[in-house]
Structure 1
Amino acid sequence: MADDGMLMNFELGSGPLKPQVKFTGGSWRDRKRAQKSAKLGSRPAVERSGLDDDQRSAKRLKVDGHGPGRRTDGDSEHRTDFPRKKTADHGHAPGQNKGPGKGSRQVVSRLFSFNPEQKTTFDDEPEWKEPEPTNAPLLTVANFGSLTISSRLVEALAKMNLERPTAIQQKVIPHMLSSSSDAFVQAETGSGKTFAYLLPILHRVLLLSGRGDQQIHRDSGIFAIIVAPTRELAKQTHTVLEQLIRPFPWLVSTAITGGESKKAEKARLRKGISFLVATPGRLADHIDNTKALNLGTVRWLILDEGDRLMDLGFEEDLRKAINALKQIELSKTLSSGVSLEPLPDRRVTVLCSATMKMNVQKLGEMSLADATFLAAEKGAETVAENKDEQAVHKAPAQLHQSHIIVPAKLRLVTLMAYLKSVFSRRGHTMKAIIFMSCADTVDFHYELLKVPENGEVPPPTSKDAENISKTVAKAAYITSLASPEVVLHRMHGSLSQPVRTATLRSFSACKSPSLLITTDVSSRGLDIPSVDLVIEYDPAFSFADHIHRIGRTARAGRSGDAVIFLLPGTEEGYIELLKASGSPSPLSYESVLQKGLMTKLEFPVETTAKPEDGQSYHDKAETLQLHLEQRLLIDSKRLELARNGFKSHIRAYATHTREERVHFDITQLHLGHVAKAYGLRDPPGGIGAGLDRKAQKGGKDAGKRTAKGVKGAKKGDDDDDSDSDKQDQAKPARAMLMRKSRMLTTGASEFNIG
């Protein structure tokens, strides 16, 4: 054999050869760990002992998903090394085959360790004292009769326990009685804008009925059209109108909204009506397709909640209705010969809005002509003179606002503790509303907090009972000796209209302490009696929505409370915005837990986690959290609801307005911690392209799961529209989030509130 010039030199050493061991079975993580242990075991003992305690601690901290230096002495007291095996406490729900070795991934983390610290320090503030209400009826005015409206209307108001007008009513009613000019009405929530425009309209229509035998009838024509952004607000306005015209049987009103029978609505229009309350989409539909809709006698067009009308994308429907009214010639007399002289000599448009944002100004330019600006605290001025003034919309002064900065892992137990403490004071809180970001989140919390059904549910005895059978139930966890029965209600835009109407009616009429879990579908205009507390569990997507949410309480001079939950970190900056609407006071989550969990805990479902006598509130909170996690593991239905709620919540978090997204930075979310707020031990995937990859990668290390992989959630937020459009074309996942973020509220697919 020829010499090729290559010299091979192998040095085997003096030690015996060790065979290469191939590890099989289990998960790849277990095989990797075994290989590492075998390799470490082959090293000299002196070299192995060279790893000091600090290095081991740092290594363990990295595996746990927390960087070096995060562990403190206090953390060691709250940390428990759980056995890495599949047990009843740490296993999966029945029917979930996780594969060999996957059970070791289930590690229960403690609630009070590794949480981000609160950055804001609050000075000790004096105890809040309720000031004079700003939306109460005026004491300086004797009664509604002083505004020169019909005495029969004054009597109807007295039956509704309304004697004196509010400040905005004192401004608007005289103007609409004497003038035929358009008006822009701005006032804080709960100040009585509905009565402000209804009373002068009714008064002037009643003047037609006081001329001898020339009385008007239901077929005389439509005198006023009132447009409301949501079905609930349209129904409520119609209810108020019905109460006012009850003494006048020749006047008829109706409401046409989406979700109802269009055939029945056409039949009512053919029979004849005097006043029409409508949502924009259904009004535009009837203008196109219903020949019986005669607009020649219409003298007033009321656009209620103008900012919300534009936010929800009704611009084209409104333009169609406004143009249709402009093109139809105004009738001077009725077919019966009755003169319409007491009515305005032109069509009057009244735009009601809480703010003067750009989209509202656009609606005003489209609908108003030489309008008068009417506000409770200002004199009458033209809108043109006030376009440059951005009015700051404030909450009623008698509304006590608070904020709770609570870590993500503790949100769920803190909410339960707060509700338990709220309903532990007999007669103090009768009705409370919790606002959440999306329908899936509402469904999960409703199912979690309600008493589970035992066996077969009795069939409903009426149509109304059938509608609320899935939306009204008795509450568990939050009851107390003072309130042994709390009634839960849920409502969101994905429910059918009859169900939403029946649920709202049930909540309004409920005599027991009751709680409504809802989305922004309930945030605008609804006047629910005796609402004492509003909880913003998920902050609103825009500050204007926040104002309207908390405006469900402290109405017409009554006192009320509002609480908002915020996360430590960037969300703390939102407190500065809150100060524009009042003086919010801080509330410690530790004090909430201590106060709410001081009484005995009662669980509706038995798990291995049970409260014990003599436990501290820290231990009770962890017991409650462990119980909720165990309950989900044995309940596949609620487990799926929790996963859907978590995913929808993360998606919705990316849709805050551009101006406020600096406070709600999705890249700062710790998905593992947020999952604990849904009773989950692992954040599920499928949120979006970036988050999905992050979740898969995070399976290697659950503690490191953050939202930093979200495409387009934060990066490029300050770019101009052209730049963002180019990025949208390149990144479909980001394009979806950016399209949503450009809206002031989330899309109709989440809430369906049009």
Structure 2
Amino acid sequence: MAEESLLLNFVADEPSSSVNRVNSGGRWKDRMKEKKNQKRKAASSTSAKDHSPAATNSRKVQSRENVPASNESKRRKTAASPVSKQHSVAKPVKHDNTFVSSLFTGDSKEHLSSTTNAHDTEDENQSMFDTQNQDAPSNAPLSTTTFAGVQLDSQLASHLEEKMNITAPTNIQNSCLPALLNGEDKDAFIEAETGSGKTLAYLLPIIQRLVRLPPTKRSRTSGLFAVIVAPTRELCQQIYNVANNLTNNRLAHWIVSCNVIGGEKKKSEKSRIRKGVNILIGTPGRLADHIENTEVLDLSQVRWVVLDEGDRLMDMGFEETITKILSYLDSQNSLYPLGDSMPSRKVNVLCSATIKDTVKRLSQSALKDAMYLRSSSSSADENEDQKIRKSSAPAQLLQRYCVIPPKLRLVSLAAVLRSNLINNQKIIVFLSCADSVNFHFEAFRRKKAEIEVEQEEREDESKKTTSSTGNEEAVDTAYRLNEKAKVYRLHGSLSQQTRTKTLSQFCSEKDSSPRILLCTDVASRGLDLPNIDLVVQYDAPFSTDDYLHRIGRTARAGHNGAAIMFLLPKEVEYIDLLRANIKVNITEQPNGPSSILNSGFSVRGGPPAKSELEWQDRATEWQLELERMILDSPELKEVAKKAFSSYVRAYATHLSSERSIFNMRDLHLGHIAKSFALREAPGKMSNNNNKQKGTVAGARLKKKKDNSPAAIAAKMQQKAMEHYSIEHNIG
């Protein structure tokens, strides 16, 4: 009787509730809107309704605006159910109490071109990476001169041509070699664009003057004559390899180089120094350590000190360490005559691709009465004021940017990679932090569900064999992009052995397969990675100078190359900032993300998409497959959450002058989470209190103790240094 009374009361209050009941799910705003609509319908309705509980519970009413009454387009997503191509992909669905937001609605749809078709997109993407019609290369070897014309020894010139396939000097080498070989022994400031051959510009004069020593002094025990300082371990290793290649001949075989960097065993480095070295190459921290603690290191006969990538040395906070190294070298210097070929004084050389106030400050403290050396192609600008002169990118480099909503970032990156890997290209993707590199490495290499078990068995065997050595896995097949392609990762949190091995494998000419290198800015400076076809800046660089160095990994030594940068809609002003600070010829990608997505999801053996809805379906299917993998794998979910949090923290390290463009308050955290294949921001997924330390929401609730400009600047500098220390293992 109690149940019948309750039923009678229910019917009396809402006579038509069985038909127009309010859905308990969905947004509060939608439920209230529907409730008002139902009241209006109930007031005008006169037909009889069936009020039985069974009928009421069986009815499904849509809770979202603009969703059809039929439930055909609304699909429940489970890990086992495949994505049906017959249904629309623009409807939000629900899985495990989380809504799966569509990729192509709201703000995302505003940035999609409505005029894109398969034929147009194919042509546009062809022109995007077609570098044949670009300007003449500005960093190519000269055709009007030879190494003999710049006073280089004929045997060294023959060695360059036969063993290193270098037949002519570049512009900067044409300027530097005569100046550093003429015996004036002045300090030098070398400025040249990336990929122009600065390393050979200072190494060749050192090698040539060493091989002209008296025969009795041609030995590894004759003394340490040159010290070269570089900001990163990878750059030090590259300089070391170039020096070894230059001395691998009968003329200079006795010259011994030594590389001292963090991550290597100091005991083995001391052993090599004890046996005798002529050229010492190292990072500032490790080099200062050896100067202070290695007694067998004799610096009294040092004739050359080279500071490579001076702008990055200053940006990374090495100014104090550099000053200490230079002061110690000056105090220990007690030169004695070694012949006419050797400088009579210690010569300091500073190299940089950009000129900033910090570099000028370093040049004032390190150089005395220095020569200023630039590429001969810039001779027309010699009288230009250095304060307003802008650094430039190689003329033959094709540069594009694309404004992409945050929800479409991940599928757009996948589309760019998919569409270019079919041509066996080598691609570098720059990301803002190590955790983001790890996430995208896992996302691109993960196999499909049907062979996941086989992969886990293989990984278990791999862990057993590598657990004793502690090696991290940094290379795998990019199954979710192209099964013939390999994906590599590189960042400062990996061991030095893994970083060295990864670069070696990525640069290997024996492997002709398409390759992707996911990396942080640890690979943006000075590295000469051969035959890079495309540079993708998935996250905007932390400064305009970093942009120049990132794109400098391609279009090197006269080769063609292309670069594309992803920007969020509120970051478009960054293009104006780039143009104001450096010389760049950058244009927007025609048709924006539409052309990229259409091209990327119309390849792999299938026909081009016949309609906009078709490539949207394919892109959404790719995204949802990854989201289901994350839902089913707690380990992968944790990787994605860490990547999201690290991305937000890294976003705050942009320079204060760029804070109006890269403002954390403008980030839509839910959409950013979508770009990491998360269906909700980690702060919500963890179900922790918003005030708990470590969550993004909790960080917003913290009170600012000091809002003065000096305090803010100090805090930003601290964040930047923390980021650099993680990526480059400072100290």
1:86/1:724 CA distance change after superposition, 3 Å:
same
Tell me which amino acid in the other structure corresponds to 1:442. Answer: V
**CA deviation string 1:658-696 (max 9, x = no partner):** 2222222221111111111111101012999x9955999
Residue pair 1:420, 1:477 contacting (<8 A) in 2 also: no
Residue pair 2:134, 2:396 contacting (<8 A) in 1 also: yes
Residue pair 2:521, 2:727 contacting (<8 A) in 1 also: no
Residue pair 1:521, 1:751 contacting (<8 A) in 2 also: yes
1:233 lines up with 2:235 in the alignment: yes
**CA deviation string 1:340-391 (max 9, x = no partner):** 4421111110000112211111211221111111111445999xx9885243
Which shifted more, 352-361 or 41-50? 41-50
Aligned to 2:620: 622
1:315/1:42 CA distance change after superposition, 3 Å:
closer
Residue pair 2:401, 2:566 contacting (<8 A) in 1 also: yes
Aligned to 1:26: none
Tell me which amino acid in the other structure corresponds to 2:221. Answer: D
1:140 lines up with 2:144 in the alignment: yes
Residue pair 2:79, 2:628 contacting (<8 A) in 1 also: no
1:363/1:656 CA distance change after superposition, 3 Å:
same
Residue pair 1:578, 1:584 contacting (<8 A) in 2 also: no
**CA deviation string 1:73-121 (max 9, x = no partner):** 8x9899998589999779xxxxxxxxxxx97741111111112534999
Aligned to 2:641: 643
Three-state SS of the structure 1 residue aligned to 2:317 is coil
Three-state SS of the structure 2 residue aligned to 1:515 is strand
**CA deviation string 1:627-660 (max 9, x = no partner):** 1111111111111101110110111111111222
Residue pair 2:486, 2:515 contacting (<8 A) in 1 also: yes
Three-state SS of the structure 1 residue aligned to 2:533 is strand
Give the distance between the partners of 1:495 and 1:78, measured in 2 at CA. 53
Three-state SS of the structure 1 residue aligned to 2:285 is helix
Three-state SS of the structure 1 residue aligned to 2:563 is strand
Tell me which amino acid in the other structure corresponds to 2:173. Answer: Q
Give the distance between the partners of 2:291 and 2:677, measured in 1 at CA. 49
Give the distance between the partners of 1:691 and 1:401, measured in 2 at CA. 45
Aligned to 2:415: 417
Aligned to 1:573: 573
Aligned length in residues: 650
Residue pair 2:472, 2:498 contacting (<8 A) in 1 also: no
1:656 lines up with 2:654 in the alignment: yes
Query: Residue 448 of structure 1: CA displacement?
Result: 1.2
Query: Residue 297 of structure 1: CA displacement?
Result: 0.8
1:711/1:169 CA distance change after superposition, 3 Å:
farther
2:178 to 174, 189, 193: 174
Residue pair 1:460, 1:466 contacting (<8 A) in 2 also: no
Aligned to 1:439: 434
Query: Residue 460 of structure 1: CA displacement?
Result: 9.4
- Please show how residues 167-246 of structure 1 align to structure 2 within 5 Å: 167-178=171-182, 179-209=184-214, 213-246=215-248
1:81/1:709 CA distance change after superposition, 3 Å:
farther
Aligned to 1:582: 585
Aligned to 2:600: 596
1:724 lines up with 2:701 in the alignment: no
Aligned to 2:664: 666
Give the distance between the partners of 1:121 and 1:554, measured in 2 at CA. 34
Aligned to 1:250: 254
Residue pair 1:185, 1:375 contacting (<8 A) in 2 also: yes
Aligned to 1:331: 335
Give the distance between the partners of 2:31 and 2:513, measured in 1 at CA. 62
Aligned to 2:353: 354
Query: Residue 244 of structure 1: CA displacement?
Result: 0.4
Three-state SS of the structure 2 residue aligned to 1:293 is coil
1:687/1:202 CA distance change after superposition, 3 Å:
farther
Query: Residue 315 of structure 1: CA displacement?
Result: 1.5
Residue pair 2:428, 2:518 contacting (<8 A) in 1 also: yes
Aligned to 2:302: 298
Which shifted more, 678-687 or 363-372? 678-687
Residue pair 2:690, 2:698 contacting (<8 A) in 1 also: no
1:156 lines up with 2:159 in the alignment: yes
Query: Residue 465 of structure 1: CA displacement?
Result: 13
Tell me which amino acid in the other structure corresponds to 1:351. Answer: L
Give the distance between the partners of 2:685 and 2:95, measured in 1 at CA. 24
Aligned to 1:524: 525
> Which structure 2 segments of 5+ residues have no match?
1-8, 12-22, 45-62, 83-93, 448-454
Three-state SS of the structure 2 residue aligned to 1:218 is coil
Give the distance between the partners of 2:114 and 2:601, measured in 1 at CA. 25
Which shifted more, 555-564 or 406-415? 406-415
Aligned to 1:701: none
Give the distance between the partners of 1:274 and 1:386, measured in 2 at CA. 39
1:214/1:722 CA distance change after superposition, 3 Å:
closer
Residue pair 1:85, 1:103 contacting (<8 A) in 2 also: yes
Aligned to 1:551: 552
1:669/1:422 CA distance change after superposition, 3 Å:
same
**CA deviation string 1:194-235 (max 9, x = no partner):** 0000111111111114xxx53421111011101010000000
Aligned to 1:369: 368
Give the distance between the partners of 2:727 and 2:73, measured in 1 at CA. 40
**CA deviation string 1:165-221 (max 9, x = no partner):** 011111111111112111111000000000000111111111114xxx534211110
2:107 to 112, 115, 119: 115
Tell me which amino acid in the other structure corresponds to 2:520. Answer: T
Query: Residue 298 of structure 1: CA displacement?
Result: 0.4
Give the distance between the partners of 2:25 and 2:408, measured in 1 at CA. 35
1:361/1:711 CA distance change after superposition, 3 Å:
farther
Tell me which amino acid in the other structure corresponds to 2:557. Answer: A
1:130/1:307 CA distance change after superposition, 3 Å:
same
Which shifted more, 627-636 or 454-463? 454-463
1:281/1:390 CA distance change after superposition, 3 Å:
farther
Give the distance between the partners of 2:80 and 2:309, measured in 1 at CA. 53
1:243/1:107 CA distance change after superposition, 3 Å:
same
Query: Residue 459 of structure 1: CA displacement?
Result: 5.1
| RMSD between superposed Cα atoms in Å | 4.5
- Please show how residues 339-488 of structure 1 align to structure 2 within 5 Å: 339-376=338-375, 377-379=377-379, 389-425=387-423, 427=424, 429=425, 431-452=426-447, 453-457=455-459, 458=461, 470-479=473-482, 484-488=483-487
Aligned to 2:274: 270
Tell me which amino acid in the other structure corresponds to 1:623. Answer: E
1:653/1:79 CA distance change after superposition, 3 Å:
farther
Tell me which amino acid in the other structure corresponds to 1:476. Answer: Y
> Which structure 1 segments of 5+ residues have no match?
1-15, 19-28, 51-62, 65-70, 91-101, 334-338, 603-610, 698-704, 729-734
Query: Residue 503 of structure 1: CA displacement?
Result: 0.7
Tell me which amino acid in the other structure corresponds to 1:749. Answer: I
Give the distance between the partners of 1:392 and 1:192, measured in 2 at CA. 19
Aligned to 2:726: 749
TM-score in terms of structure 1 length: 0.77
Three-state SS of the structure 1 residue aligned to 2:548 is helix
Tell me which amino acid in the other structure corresponds to 2:291. Answer: I
Identity of aligned residues (%): 39
Give the distance between the partners of 2:69 and 2:176, measured in 1 at CA. 64
Give the distance between the partners of 2:340 and 2:331, measured in 1 at CA. 21
Query: Residue 44 of structure 1: CA displacement?
Result: 12
Give the distance between the partners of 2:27 and 2:312, measured in 1 at CA. 57
Residue pair 1:658, 1:742 contacting (<8 A) in 2 also: no
Give the distance between the partners of 2:559 and 2:689, measured in 1 at CA. 45
Give the distance between the partners of 1:283 and 1:364, measured in 2 at CA. 20
Three-state SS of the structure 1 residue aligned to 2:438 is helix
Query: Residue 724 of structure 1: CA displacement?
Result: 3.4
Residue pair 2:520, 2:727 contacting (<8 A) in 1 also: no
Residue pair 1:519, 1:751 contacting (<8 A) in 2 also: no
**CA deviation string 1:105-154 (max 9, x = no partner):** 411111111125349999x999872110000011111x211111222211
